[in-house]
Amino acid sequence: MLPFDVHEIRKDFPILLESVHGKPLIYFDNGASSQKPTRVIDRITHYYEHEHSNVHRGVHYLSFTATQAYEAARQAVARFIGSSTPQEIVFTKGTTDGINTVAYSFGETLKAGDEILITGMEHHSNIVPWQLLCERRGLILKVLPVLENGTLDLAKLDHLLSERTAIVSLVHVSNTLGTVNPVKEIIEKAHAVGAKVLLDAAQSIQHLPINVQALDCDFLVFSGHKVFAPTGIGVLYAKHALLESMPPYQGGGDMIERVTFEKTTYAPVPLKFEAGTPNISGAIALGEAFAFLESIDLPGAYEHEATLGKYLRLRMKEIPGVRFIGDAPETCSTLSFLVGNLHPSDLGTLLDQQGIAVRTGHHCTQPLMTQFQIPGTVRASLAFYNTLKEIDNFIHALERAIKLLA
Ligand code: PMP
């Protein structure tokens, strides 16, 4: 395996050669969705040209081929996140779908008065499903606060955790603040009171090595599109015994063992949680994305990204009036900021005109915006295919935008 070389890796991502408004694209919106390497794109075409049929039910050649590729993808996911068995991997539509599955199915095993602990930096998809569950079953939602520097107020954790806590559901890396949360420590504390832990790995799966057994999390969810795979596919990892104990989320084909009008028995896990025809090509492409990551010098890629993240913060500090929203000691290469009293969307529009894609707004974390008393932020979120030169060009473009708006 060759050492990581950003200029070589960029050749794998055709979209990076695009021009936007006549300028070379600088894609700093990887937190919203990552771009796709050629081999992932080609894998989808190959599947539809040579392998497509419905999975699990057929006796014919193509159904067998599609099933094999789909189940091989499940094995690739299990290997990549360090699960001991593919039976612990449920294919979902994405992070949102994974959290809703847990909130519904695991939620069915809880009783009125049980508590759910989330944090003040959660994405809406890790807030609303729990609120719905609380309304449905009379549970109580508690929130671990966020400090001014964008870290969790861990001093309050012991106070908020109790034997009533059924589950702690938290983000591994904040999509808005870039904060990397000390999840191992939180998982240990939650387990000490008998609570389960769900990790929202939507933003960590692309940036950090993840091993579910080392973390000892009970559930972990992510979206394929954040980790170089297509949209519409995601993963719910759950410990085998938990999946066994939870009722199904949806009923239908594929998730059953036997159906009569009197009673239905369910397929073994994970199929019990995969009702209906799944996103077969998406799952296969997700497996291909992990095969791609395993074929490159991933530690070298993580290191390159860490260098980019530090360089971005350093260069941003040179710009007068810049305020970071969240400045935790441990962050990944995502940075939210404001400049003086300029509106984030004005800055975003002027950056776009210079070929630079950043995201502006509340990033689906409105409670965090309320806490910081801001309408939104500008967010630059990097991936390992970004370069130091792109950061220099971004700084230059930002300075130009500020001058224009001032
Ligand atoms: N959680 C976090 C931390 C996210 O960043 C996102 C996507 N922005 C989600 C959840 C939701 O992901 P999806 O829309 O792919 O379900």
Domain ranges of the chain: 6-30+297-405, 41-294
- Give the residue-averaged pLDDT of 103-115: 98
d(C-alpha 126, C-alpha 139), whole Å = 16
In this prediction, residue 87 has a pLDDT band, given cuts at 50, 70 and 90, of very high
Percent of the chain with pLDDT over 70: 100
Q: Could you tell which of 334, 336, 364 is best to mutate to test the pocket of ligand 1, judged by most ligand atoms within 8 Å of the CB?
A: 364
pLDDT tens column, 282-297 = 999 999 999 999 999 9
Q: Could you tell which of 122, 123, 174 is best to mutate to test the pocket of ligand 1, judged by most ligand atoms within 8 Å of the CB?
A: 123
Could you tell me if the CB of 334 is within 6 A of ligand 1? no
pLDDT tens column, 349-370 = 999 999 999 999 999 999 999 9
Q: Do β-strands 359-361 and 377-381 pair in parallel, antiparallel, or remain unpaired?
A: antiparallel
Could you tell me if the CB of 96 is within 6 A of ligand 1? yes
Q: What is the mean pLDDT of the chain?
A: 98
d(C-alpha 213, C-alpha 211), whole Å = 5
- Give the residue-averaged pLDDT of 366-382: 98
- Give the residue-averaged pLDDT of 363-379: 98
In this prediction, residue 145 has a pLDDT band, given cuts at 50, 70 and 90, of very high
Could you tell me if the CB of 100 is within 6 A of ligand 1? no
Query: What is the per-residue pLDDT for 58?
Result: 84
Query: How many Å lie between the centroid of ligand 1 and the Cα of residue 135?
Result: 23
Is domain 6-30+297-405 classified as CATH 1.20.58.220? no
Amino acid identity of residue 164, one-letter, is: R
Q: Where are the beta strands (DSSP E) in 234-376?
A: 234-238, 256-259, 264-266, 322-324, 334-339, 356-357, 359-361
pLDDT tens column, 196-244 = 999 999 999 999 999 999 999 999 999 999 999 999 999 999 999 999 9
Query: How many Å lie between the centroid of ligand 1 and the Cα of residue 202?
Result: 5
Query: How many Å lie between the centroid of ligand 1 and the Cα of residue 231?
Result: 11
- Give the residue-averaged pLDDT of 60-81: 97
Query: For the domain bounded by 41-294, which CATH number is listed?
Result: 3.40.640.10
Query: How many Å lie between the centroid of ligand 1 and the Cα of residue 251?
Result: 25
Could you tell me if the CB of 223 is within 6 A of ligand 1? yes
Query: What is the per-residue pLDDT for 80?
Result: 98
In this prediction, residue 57 has a pLDDT band, given cuts at 50, 70 and 90, of confident
Could you tell me if the CB of 175 is within 6 A of ligand 1? yes
Atom of ligand 1 nearest to the CA of 174: 3
Q: Do domains 6-30+297-405 and 41-294 have the same CATH topology?
A: no
Element of type H or E holding 128: helix 128-137
Query: What is the per-residue pLDDT for 67?
Result: 97
Query: What is the per-residue pLDDT for 257?
Result: 96
Could you tell me if the CB of 119 is within 6 A of ligand 1? no
217 tagged catalytic: no
d(C-alpha 355, C-alpha 24), whole Å = 6
d(C-alpha 89, C-alpha 98), whole Å = 11
pLDDT tens column, 259-284 = 999 999 999 999 999 999 999 999 99
Phi, psi of 55 (to 5 degrees): -95, 160
Atom of ligand 1 nearest to the CA of 32: 8
Element of type H or E holding 91: strand 89-92
